Amino acid sequence: MSSSVFSETLQEITTTKLSELSRRRTIFEDQKASVVAASQAQPDQKLRLAILSDGLKQCFAVKTAKRKRGDRRGGPGSIIRGSTDDPSLEILLKNFDRFSEQARYDPSISARIMDDWEITLKKRLDVQSLKYQYAALYGKLVTEWLSSSETIESPVKTSETQTQPRDSSRAEWEELVFADFKTDETKISSYLGNLFGKNGTNDQAIKALEKLRKDVEAFEISMSVPGQINNVNLKWAINGLLSAGLLSEEKNTVLRDFLSSTVILTEVADVLNMRMSSLHTWSWETDVPIEQRRHVTGAFHMYIDEDLLQAIFLQYIGVKWSVFFKNAFISFSKHEDVWTSLRQPVSSTDLKRREYFLGKQSKKPSVQAKRQKLYKSRFFMSQLPSDLYGSGTANAQGEEEVVHVGGRTMQTARAPRRQLASKAARKSAPSANFNRYMSAEVDEDCSDESDDDDTEDEDATSQSPMATKQFLLHLVASEIIVNTKLHGEITVTRSEFESFLPWLPHSTIYAVLNFFGVSEKWLIFFRKFLEAPLKFVSDGPGVSSKIRKRGCPGAHALSSMFSETVLFCLDYSVNQNADGLQLFRMHDDFWMWSPSQEKVVRAWKAVEAFRAVMGVSLNETKTGTVRVLGEDTGVAPSPDAALPAGEIRWGFLLLDPVTGRFVIDQDMVDKHIEDLKSQLDNKKGSVFSWIQAWNTYAGTFFKTNFGRPANCFGRGHVDMMLSTMTRIQTRIFSDSNVVEFLKSTLEERFGIKDIPDGYLYFPTGLGGLELQNPFIGTLQVRDAVFEQPATVIDDFIDGERMAYNAAKKAFDNSEVQRHSIGDPNFVPHDGDTFFSFEEFSRYREEFRSPSADGNLLSVFKDLLKQPSPEFLDATPEEMMLLNKYAANASMSDGYMRWVAQLYGPEMVDRFGGLKIVDAGLLPIGMVNLFRSGRVQWKG
């Protein structure tokens, strides 16, 4: 189904539902008016109640049973339960019939009770009128949104001021991408040869490299097998494309149609198998369209919009190569004596002394084991998929890092993170075993790098890129606390390569792939892929295409493979040149830290050497170093002159070099408040569009860039988030707020007054507008985070002293178990006296804690924790109400439960429950579909 037909179908569905809604509302209001008029004309209260009861049965189409033979009373029979979708109404009317029978005979039934019955029955009619009123409002909002979308698609004149950032971004991008930039492939080969042991310094690295090259050769043979592309392969390839954000909405619609048709998949597989068999003749065939898209950050990204079959074909090849190289690099890193361990060397004598005084020593679980596992499971080659079905989770709209521009308008066109296939695709994976090149699981139980105790890391690779970035921030903050307390200082350096993917020299890619053994056949194919004939969609037919000479197209699996293969060399270089220091890298963004500033200096020199030979540059606005001391002197200490100067920032956060804490940069927030105001003004034509922009920008983008609350950040960080969010609303709405703004807009535009707050915040499944409240999620964790994170280290030090005293007591009482130690016969020269506290604590990060007291690993893990949102307490009555509507809204979600409990009482009073309208009458599915699309930002 084409996009236009698809849109027309959705429009028709919407029109049909709204017409039906209008018809039912008219019928109901006519019936209601008749019932109310008849009841008002009846002076007898009992007869008035009977008219209202029978009228409700008619208005709500409540089915009643036929009268039994011999029952000559007028009116309908008993109510048939289940005849409506409102069981409470059926019970009310059925019980009322029984009560009214009692009132006919029982003189003790007072007029006051019957007054209450009358009020209840009338309120049922009024509530239904209100539901229809809000259903009609919802329909008008959908119509308004559709009209607004059509207006957006029409050409709109924009001022030179509005287009200047976009045009400047394109000019800068074209200047670099279409200009040939050659690096010295001989120098790159020499650099890699020395790095991987070709100079004779590391025989094990040479062996591991040779194995990697043989694996490349074997993988290439597997890629030449005829008929390898089938329906199963196509499904994971298509799902990966849908997750990547590469293609237009129109083409994504066609891809979804492909997935539902076995016939189409079989035909596509035949065509792609033909292309695989003639890989040497492959080409782009036609010009490749390219367009700019503005993101919420204000940056412009370039997207190519290739032919569907080409896209699927390239996705298939890209994922296969990506999975292979991830597996190959992990295998390389696990080769004996190839990857330098982070661990501090422990001499044989020191180990024997520890075992003599303390008993058997274990290196896991320990802080160092935890660090190694976190690095390998969450960061090492994390941008490549672990399997064909993808293990990545896409970022939500608005989950993007703020672009730091150092006072100028952001103009780079960085590629978005490529996302892989959804979990649904993995569920359809066959159970057959794949060859060894298609599996890239990290074996975490085979070496000292394992930490068997840390099972919570097992699903780390399924997190979104933004979740991993947030975890990295928590890791930095935790390491600062631990190292400044225990080692007296820490040096942190952060940087990013300038537009790494768009500007990566092609000659660098070829040199690195060639070094790892990729054949000429595949290098030629990769060259054709990279040298695409690009043409901007906005240029029109009279402009010729240009051949790309530098960089890789964004959102492509092959591009990720190229960049990660090159950057793997950086990972290994830092590891080798800085005694195992870990380079925490997310694509081209990387961090390094150590209590030893000299190690960080050596690591940075390795970065500089890599940068020079590979022909890439660093983003100065995101490059800096902070040295934090354990004692707060009130003055920021100066880092080594060999390290890059500059601040360390992430999102709206700035690392304070004096306190070692991340703080929110309010000046930077102010700039984005102004942009938010401008974007919201641009969405005033549609309430739904306005809410979508608000949810994405204010609800997600701001909160994301404040950093997710965690124990290591402390409660002060949460309070800083809350006060900043208050300031954002104050700046945008002056003396008002987002709720009052929307209420006044709805009243002015549609004449609806006295709108309950819950209508704005309730989910679409209950008939609400699903406005996000950024305060709720933050308040849910405020009381759960540590108030003063650094105090846990003070508690640890006290506990460690207690552990020392307990160990000394065990030694003095001859209770040390030495039967399984390395050298049971070893006795130190001072073996009659328990060793010092300094010696006891020297390897606190290397070995398992001897007792629960002073357990550094436990402290480290606690600092890293992101507390789960705390649920509000609920009465049994509230829980029954929440469970009743659980199918229409995720009441297991703490956020939605908070909304329901906060606004629920008013909604129940106004609408008789939490459901505002009957969802079946509303085009809610279509609204959700629209909301899943990208926000079109002004500019």
The 10s digit of each residue's pLDDT in 226-246 is 999 999 999 999 999 998 888
User: Mean pLDDT of all residues in the chain?
Assistant: 87
Is residue 301 classed as helix, strand or coil in its secondary structure? strand
Tokens standing for residue 742 = 């929307």
d(CA 294, CA 300): 5
Q: Which residues contact 715 (CB under 8 A, 6 or more apart)?
A: 782, 783, 785, 786, 787
Asked if 598 contacts 500 with a C-beta cutoff of 8 angstroms, the reply is no
Residue ending a domain, among 829, 849, 866, is 866
Tokens standing for residue 818:
């030495």
Token readout for 566 is 């090159």
Q: Which pLDDT band, with edges at 50, 70 and 90, does 461 fall under?
A: very low
Residues 876 and 854 in one domain: no
**Is 50 exceeded by the pLDDT of residue 444?**
no
β-strands 653-655, 533-536 pairing? unpaired
Domain end: 866, 898, 913, which one? 866
DSSP 430: -
Count: domains in the chain:
3
3-state SS class at 254: helix
> For residue 818, is it within any domain?
yes
| Same-domain status, 143 and 30 | yes
Which stretch of 573-582, 787-796, 818-827 has the lowest confidence by average pLDDT?
A: 818-827
Considering the domain architecture, whether residues 862 and 735 belong to the same structural domain is answered as no
Kindly state the average pLDDT of the residues 288-295: 85
Amino acid at 137: L
Give the tens place of pLDDT for each residue, 27-69: 999 999 999 999 999 999 999 999 999 999 999 888 888 766 6
Residue 751 sits in the same domain as residue 686: yes
Q: Which residue has the tokens 């505002």?
A: 916
Alpha helices in 364-413, H assignment, sequence order: 367-374
- Which token pair is 684? 């005033």
Q: Do residue 20 and residue 124 come from a single domain? A: yes
Rounded Cα distance between 786 and 930, Å, is: 40
Distance in angstroms (rounded) separating the CA atoms of residues 728 and 677: 10
191-219 mean pLDDT? 91
DSSP states of 774-818: HHHHHHHHHTTS-SSTTHHHHHHHHHHHHHHHHHHHHHHTT----
Residues 693 and 829 in one domain: no
Residue 22 sits in the same domain as residue 94:
yes
Inter-CA distances, 473 with 142, 600, 660, 704, 718, Å: 40, 18, 12, 12, 15
- State how far the alpha carbon of 198 is from the alpha carbons of 72, 193, 209, 338, in Å: 106, 5, 10, 13
Name 162's Cβ contacts closer than 8 Å, sequence gap at least 6. Answer: 938, 939
Rounded Cα gap, residues 61 and 24, in angstroms = 11
Q: Are 458 and 386 contacting, i.e. CB atoms less than 8 angstroms apart?
A: no
Kindly report the pTM of this predicted structure: 0.88
pLDDT, one tens digit per residue, over 800-843 is 999 999 999 999 999 999 888 889 989 999 999 999 999 999 99
Final residue in a domain of this structure, among 147, 182, 209: 147
**Does residue 249 or residue 420 have the better pLDDT?**
249
Residue 77: band (very low, low, confident or very high) from pLDDT cuts 50, 70, 90: low
Residues 689 and 836 in one domain: no
Distance of CA 928 to the CA centre of its chain: 19
Instruction: Note the pLDDT of residue 936.
Output: 78
Q: Per the domain annotation, does 596 fall within a domain?
A: no
Kind and range of the H or E element at 586? strand 584-586
Which pLDDT does position 448 carry in this prediction? 43
Residue 755 lies in a domain: yes
For residue 287, what are the CA distances in angstroms to 307, 377, 545? 10, 40, 6
317 found inside a domain? no
The C-alpha atoms of residue 264 and residue 472 are separated, in whole angstroms, by 43
Asked if the bond preceding 365 is cis, omega within 30° of 0, the reply is: yes
How many whole angstroms separate alpha carbon 532 and alpha carbon 322? 21
pLDDT at 304: 83
Q: Classify residue 347 by burial, with Cβ atoms within 10 Å: 0-12, 13-18, 19+.
A: exposed
- Bridge partners of 735, per DSSP, are none
883 within domain boundaries: yes
Instruction: Give the DSSP letter of residue 717.
Output: H
For residue range 335-388, list pLDDT tens digits in order: 999 999 999 889 999 999 999 999 999 998 999 999 999 999 999 999 999 998
* Greater model confidence, 130 or 198: 130
- Tell whether 40 and 134 lie within a shared domain: yes
| pLDDT for residue 438 is more than 70 | no
Residue 732 is assigned to a structural domain of this protein:
yes
Q: How far apart are CA 145 and CA 139, in angstroms?
A: 10
Per-residue pLDDT tens for 388-403?
886 456 777 888 888 8
pLDDT level of residue 71 (50, 70, 90 thresholds): low
208 lies in some domain: no
Predicted pLDDT of residue 166: 83
**Residues 851, 911 within the same domain:** no
Identify the bridge partners of residue 288 per DSSP, sorted by sequence position: 534
User: For 831-878, what is each residue's pLDDT tens digit?
Assistant: 999 999 999 999 999 999 888 888 999 999 999 999 999 888 888 888
Class of residue 156 by CB neighbours under 10 A (exposed 0-12, middle 13-18, buried 19+): exposed
Domain hosting residue 61, numbered range: 1-66+76-147
pLDDT for 591-609, tens place per residue? Answer: 999 999 999 999 999 999 9
Same domain, 817 and 912: no
Q: Backbone phi, then psi, for 360, in 5-degree steps?
A: -55, 135
| Other beta carbons within 10 Å of 509 | 25
Q: Is residue 270 part of a domain?
A: no
pLDDT in tens, 97-147: 889 889 989 999 999 999 999 999 999 999 999 999 999 999 899 888 888
Q: Do 769 and 691 meet the contact criterion of CB atoms below 8 Å apart? A: yes
pLDDT at 573 over 50: yes
Considering the domain architecture, whether residues 694 and 832 belong to the same structural domain is answered as no
Answer yes or no: are the C-beta atoms of 908 and 914 closer than 8 Å: yes
DSSP state of 698: I
The answer to whether the CB of 350 falls within 8 A of the CB of 836 is no
In this predicted structure, which of 44-53, 301-310, 417-426, 882-891 has the lowest mean pLDDT?
Answer: 417-426
> For residue 552, is pLDDT > 60?
yes
If you average pLDDT over residues 402-422, what whole number do you get? 43
